[in-house]
Structure 1
């Protein structure tokens, strides 16, 4: 396939901009609904659109390794449940900073699982990335709250999902993997609703089960569903247009877009140390990806959302 880095960059930047924008409005959903209701509704919408598209085109989704796809979907959906749950109490930029530690986790896990040998440059990149996370999530040490580090755990699961994509799901199509992830997120939503109908989880975005959606919540769920589908299409096309080790660097634009849209939509402004932290995370991840072309597996953009 022809290598077209400029076209790939355009697709990736468009996809990350859409993701960063639509995720800003999780805050609106969190005020009126629950994490579990949101995922049940959004996944139902996305799967319905996908089903209609397949019916019209006559295409079918072929799965070669069901157990591998199911395992990957569970791992990746866990990462995204943590990420979206964190949006109930963090800004998009802060939550994305944790999630985008994934390349750092890929490197760490590859050392542990595959005995990958790494040099001082990538060791320094790992340290740089975690320093960036500390600056973004807790620039004020007096206000340290361990819950703000939940997105970093999401980044670890996201990294596992990236490794699973490469190691287990090579023969699968992007459509099969994307639909598997959305189906798993929908099951997370239904499971959360079922559990919280039996046990009182308290108030808040994470603690409530089914909440009958208002017109405003339905609107933003539709925006999320459409935005996610369009973003995944752009990200996938980006990775089809150029070498993945180069293209994946452009995904770090999501950190800048998240900070920008957070300021434009809500007036959220990271302090200078927080902005420095975002830059360190992006630099560390980019360095790991570029240095790891022949080493650790890189996260795949088709795993997003």
Structure 2
């Protein structure tokens, strides 16, 4: 059977749609955080996303049942943990900064593959790791090094877990449909959300007003803004992930993984347009270094690219 034809331009267009959608919807987590809690957000978003996915399954011929439930469950738990941390950080930090932390994932992929799977690392990739680490420090600011703010470290932790989930996608879940992994991911987020809501309902803690109470706020009666922007998040995530999965289906993964870094300037652009947020020259320099690290890591090899689609 002949190899599928590369449609690089079409893949780039799909990634652009993904980046613009995700960067836009993530900017409104701060509104969701003002009216609700992180755990209620994930539970509500999962319900909305799974309903939309179920409605689309029959007309689009999507396969949602996993072939091997165990690996899919483990992979879903890892990626869900990454996204819980990611969205928690969005309540406190600019989207561009959080996205930059998440996109240190290729660096962690490289290190995990070397330490756990014994795969060799060339000097170019060693340089990429050092470059990416420096970029992350510049984007996150001196707080990441001094430990003055735990929130400043959250995007890096999210990137590490996202990397583990990407490795699990390839190593444990080969042959599973993209829709199956997407359904598993959202379902796990929903379970985590429900558990968090139950714990905070049984053991309530003092909650600050507005977005400052996002992480520890238990179940509350949802406002119209909360429901609307959570729905926008659910629909945007489904379409965005569908676009990035499609991109990996029609073009070489090494090229598409480089295209994914367009979400960094997209996040910065939406932050400027929507909220007037301007990045410092240090943060912009750090984002540039992270992109350079991704370009180095994504150099074509015989093996699959170290970055995987955002599921």
Scaled by the length of structure 2, the TM-score of the pair is 0.93
**Aligned equivalent of 1:118:** 121
Shift of 1:162: 0.5
SS in 2 for 1:206: coil
For 2:108 and 2:146, locate their aligned partners in 1 and report how far apart those are by CA, in whole Å.
27
**Aligned equivalent of 1:180:** 184
Unaligned runs of 5+ residues in structure 1 are: none
Contact 2:140/2:283 (<8 A) preserved: yes
Which one of 151, 156, 160 corresponds to residue 155 of structure 2? 151
Matched, 1:36 2:39: yes
Which one of 51, 57, 73 corresponds to residue 76 of structure 2? 73
Shift of 1:237: 1.3
**Aligned equivalent of 2:98:** 95
Shift of 1:52: 2.1
Shift of 1:116: 1.5
Q: Tell me which stretches of 4 or more aligned residues in structure 1 moved more than 4 Å.
A: 55-60, 139-144
Shift of 1:57: 5.9
**Aligned equivalent of 1:13:** 16
What is the root-mean-square deviation in Å for CA atoms of aligned residues? 1.7
For 1:246 and 1:115, locate their aligned partners in 2 and report how far apart those are by CA, in whole Å.
25
For 2:214 and 2:232, locate their aligned partners in 1 and report how far apart those are by CA, in whole Å.
19
**Aligned equivalent of 1:218:** 227
Contact 1:163/1:297 (<8 A) preserved: no
Q: Aligned pairs, how many?
A: 302
Contact 1:16/1:253 (<8 A) preserved: yes
Scaled by the length of structure 1, the TM-score of the pair is 0.94
Unaligned runs of 5+ residues in structure 2 are: 208-212
For 1:289 and 1:165, locate their aligned partners in 2 and report how far apart those are by CA, in whole Å.
17
**Aligned equivalent of 2:210:** none
Shift of 1:59: 5.4
SS in 2 for 1:106: helix
SS in 1 for 2:27: helix
